[in-house]
Amino acid sequence: MDIRKQAEELLSKMTLEEKTGLCAGESFWLSPALERLGLKAHIMTDGPHGLRKQEQGADHLGINQSLPAVCFPTASAVACSFDRELIERMGEALGDKCVREDVAVLLGPGINMKRSPLCGRNFEYFSEDPYLAGELGAAYTKGVQSKGIGVSVKHFAANSQETNRMTVDSVVDLRALHEIYLEAFHRVVEEAKPWTVMCSYNQINGIYANTNHWLLTDMLRDEWHYDGLVVSDWGAVSDRAAGIQAGMDLEMPGVGPDSAAQLMEAVKSGALQEKELDRSVWRIIELILKMQQEKKPSEYSDESDHELAEKIAVQSAVLLKNDDQVLPLDRAMKVAFIGQMAKKPRYQGAGSSKINAYRLENVCQYAQKTGISFTYADGYAEECSQIDAQLLNEAVKTAEDADVAVIFAGLPDAYESEGFDRDTMEMPIGHVQLIEAVAAANPNTVVVLQCGSPVEMPWREHVKGILLMYLGGEAGAEATVKLLFGEENPSGKLAETWPERLSDTPCASCYPGNGRAVWHRESIYIGYRYYDAAGCRPAYPFGYGLSYTDFQYRELQLLQSDVQGEENEYTVTLMVKNTGSVAGRETVQLYLGKKGDSALIRAPKELKGFSKVYLQPGEEKRVTFVFRDADTAYYNAVCGMWCIEEGEYAVQIGASSRDIRLQGVVYIQGDGKEELLREQKQRLVQYREPASPLRIADGQFLELLGFTPTPETQDAVKPYTVNSTFGDIRDTWIGKMLIKKAVSSAPRFGEDPSMQRMVQAMLYSTPIRSLRMIGDMTWTQAQGIAEMANGHYLKGFCMLKGKK
C-alpha cells in the first residue's frame, strides 16, 4: 500500500489521546511510537559531518561520549570543494553508517548563511552564498537519503548567530529574507525533497520560528510545495498548540506526557481544531512508515570512509598564498614543523556535531610514518592567549636551522564553538607572535591554518605560503602532508569571503545585536555581494584558491533558446585548459549581474553556477552552464512576488568573484515591476551607495523594513514568561537560585575548554521553558518559575507543586 494511504488509514484508527501522544519524541533521541498500530520508535541523531550516536548520557551539546565514527571535514571545509558529486558521496557514506547503527534520521545538513565570521557555529555551515549552500545541501541530502535514511535540513530560518540563539528576534527585510536567508532551503526542498526540515530556535520578525505560520505553511508548504515533516530543534518549542497550527509537527526531544497534555487541553478547549492536529499526526505517521521501510544492507567500512574523509579534505583545502612557489616542498629539504597543532590538530568543531573519531593521526605522526624527516618545536603553550618566551625562542632557533618552516596555527577549541559567538576575528596572541617571529627568522615560512571560519592575518605579507585546511576531519593530517609535499594538488576555493579585518564586514556595527533583537541592517549585502558593491578589498575573495598548476579560459559562447514559450534558456560554454606541468582540478564559476542603471538596489553580481573539472597537463575540456531568465529574478517586497528587471545582464566566467576571465552579455525581457522600487532606491542612499565600513542609519533600515520591529535593547521585558531567559531573571531570588545550582553542576561537563565555555555562555541565554528538557519540569512548573520571578511567590509555588 502507498505510504500516504497507509498513513491515512492508521490515522483513522487513532484516539485523540494517541494522536496527541504521537506529536513528541519517545525520548531524547527517539521518534514517537504507537505499538498498538505497529508504529515503532526510531533514532534521530546528530550529524552532519559524522554520526554522533549516544548510547548513554543523552544530550544535544556534544557533552557526553558517543560511539566511534568517521569524522569527515566540517561543512566550512567541504564547501570549498565546490564538488556536488563528492559531497553526495559523503552523504552516501553517512547514510550507510546510519543503516549500520540503526539510525533513521541524521540531523543535517546545516545550510544557514554565514552573515558574520564571528558566528560560533560557522564551521557547521557551508557558505555566505545561498546558491552554493543550496546546491551542496541538496547533494548531501540526496546522498544520505539514497540509503533510505532521512535528513533534517537546518536551521529554518534566519539563524546566523549563537548569541541569544533561543530567543533573539532576527529582524530581516522581506527581500533579504527571500533572496538570502530562505533561498538555500528552497533549493534543497525543491531539488532533494528532504524527509524533515528542522525549525530554528529564534524569532523571525517578532514570531518564533516554531509558531511562524508564514514561514512553515505559507512559504514552506504552499509556495514551495514541501510535503515532508517539520521537527523542532531540540528544546525550541515556545507554544505547542500554536506550533501545530503553524505547521510545526514533531516536538523533540520527548518531554514525557507534558506535551500531549497541552495539546489535549487545547483541543478540548477549542483553541486547537482536531483537523489541525490530524494534519501533523498524518505527517508524523508518514515519517515513521518511511523509517520502518527495509533498508539495503550497509556496505559501510570505517577504513574506506576514513580514506574518503582524506579525499574530501584534500579537495577542500585552499591554497591562499604561494609566493616563489614555496610549495610543494621537497622531501630532501630540511623542514621544521612548528606549533602544537601539528601534534594536537583542531579537526572539528565543538557542540552537538562533535564526533568521537574512528581514527586520528597528527601531522608529525603521519610524516614520520611516510619517511619524511623534520624537526619540531611547540612554539606556543596550549593556553595560547599569552606568549611563552621559552617556547617562542626554541621555535625561532628551530626555524633558523631549517630550509622551510611550516607553522601550524589557527583557532583552538575554546575560541569557537556552538553556543557562543566570537568577539573578535583575531587569532590567539601566542599564534600571531609565533608566526611573526618565525617569519623574521626564516624567509621561507609557510602557515597551515586550522580554523572553522575566517581570521585576521596581519602577518600574511610576511610569509610565503598559506594553506587553509579549515577543520579537516580525522584524516586532515594525511591530507595536509600530501598537499605540502606535492602528492596532491590543492583545488579548494573559498566558499566565503575572508575580510582584512572585522570592521570591514557588512554587519560589523549590528552583529550579534544588543540582546533582544538583531537588526539585519545590511539587507542583501552579505559576503561578496557587499564587498563588490562597496568596493571593499578583502584579504581573499569568495571563490578564490590557488593551485600548483595554471588554467586558461577561452572561447566563451552564449546560445539562447525558448523553453516551452514561457522564458528563455541560455547555454554558456567555454574551454578550460591546464597549461601547467601537473594534473589539477579547477572550479569554474558563473556569475550574473545587471548592467547599467537599475531601478532597484542590487549587488553587482551573483553566483549562478559552478563546475569542477579535472585536467591532466596540457588537457583541455569544454565546460557548460545553463541558466534561465528566472535566475536573474529578485524579490519585490512591494508587490510580494519574484520579478524580473528588463535589460542587459553580464554573463561572467571567473576563477573567483574577483578574477573574471571571460564575459558576455544577454538581454532579458522583464515585467516592469521594478519601477515600483525606483523612488525608494533614491531615498535609500546608504543602500544605493554602500560605504565601507557599512553603518546603516535607523531611518534607512526602518524604511526598507516597512514595519516597526522589536527594538534593539538589552532590557528584560516584564512581566517574565517561560520565554524569558535565565539572564533576564538573574537578579530575582528564583533566578539567583537557579543560576547558582546550574553553575555548581558545571564541573560534571569535564575539562574540555570549549565545552566549559559553551555551557557557561549558554546559561544566561537559556529560556525558562528549557527546564522542560534539561530539568524534567512540566510546562506548568516552568510557568511557576516565571511567576516567582515576577514576585508572585505563592502562585508560582503552587504551580511548581503541579497546581494551577
**Residues involved in catalysis:** 233
Grid cell, residue 231, equals 521537527
Count Cα atoms within 13 angstroms, Cβ side, for 333: 18
Per-residue three-class SS string for 172-213: CCHHHHHHHHCHHHHHHHHHHCCCEEEECCCEECCEEHHHCH
Beta strands per DSSP E along 523-644: 551-563, 567-578, 584-594, 606-615, 620-628, 634-636, 641-643
- Measuring CA to CA, which residue among 154, 214, 159 is closest to residue 189? 154
- In contact, 305 and 401? CB cutoff 8 Å: no
**Strand-strand pairing, 659-668 and 647-656:** antiparallel
- Measuring CA to CA, which residue among 520, 473, 475, 467 is closest to residue 494? 467
For residue 408, the surrounding DSSP H or E stretch is strand 404-410
Grid cell, residue 653, equals 566566467
Distance CA(629)–CA(651), nearest Å, equals 12
Angle at the Cα of 733 from the Cα atoms of 732 and 734, rounded to 5 degrees? 95
Count Cα atoms within 13 angstroms, Cβ side, for 99: 21
**Strand-strand pairing, 356-357 and 207-208:** unpaired
Could you give the 3-state DSSP secondary structure of residue 220?
Answer: helix
DSSP character string of 23-88:
TB-SSSSBPP-BGGGTB---EEEE-SSS-B--SSS--SSS-S---EE--PPPHHHHGGG--HHHHH
Distance CA(531)–CA(537), nearest Å, equals 7
- In contact, 707 and 668? CB cutoff 8 Å: no
Distance CA(90)–CA(77), nearest Å, equals 13
Q: Which amino acid is at 418?
A: E
Could you give the 3-state DSSP secondary structure of residue 784?
Answer: helix
For residue 246, the surrounding DSSP H or E stretch is helix 240-246
- In contact, 787 and 795? CB cutoff 8 Å: yes
Q: Which amino acid is at 541?
A: P
Q: Residue 107 CA to chain centroid, in angstroms?
A: 12
Q: Which amino acid is at 624?
A: T
Angle at the Cα of 414 from the Cα atoms of 181 and 396, rounded to 5 degrees? 120
Distance CA(722)–CA(767), nearest Å, equals 7
Instruction: Say how many C-beta atoms besides its own lie within 10 A of residue 15's C-beta.
Output: 9
**Greatest CA separation found in the chain?**
82
Distance CA(289)–CA(291), nearest Å, equals 5
Distance CA(580)–CA(526), nearest Å, equals 35
Q: Across-strand partners of 613?
A: 586
Grid cell, residue 206, equals 517578532
Q: Percent helix, strand, coil in the chain (nearest 5)?
A: 35, 20, 45
* Residue partners of 472: CB distance under 8 A and separation at least 6: 73, 77, 313, 316, 317, 345, 347, 450, 479, 480
Distance CA(419)–CA(164), nearest Å, equals 9
CA distances, 586 to each of 495, 539, 662 (Å): 14, 21, 15
Distance CA(30)–CA(256), nearest Å, equals 12
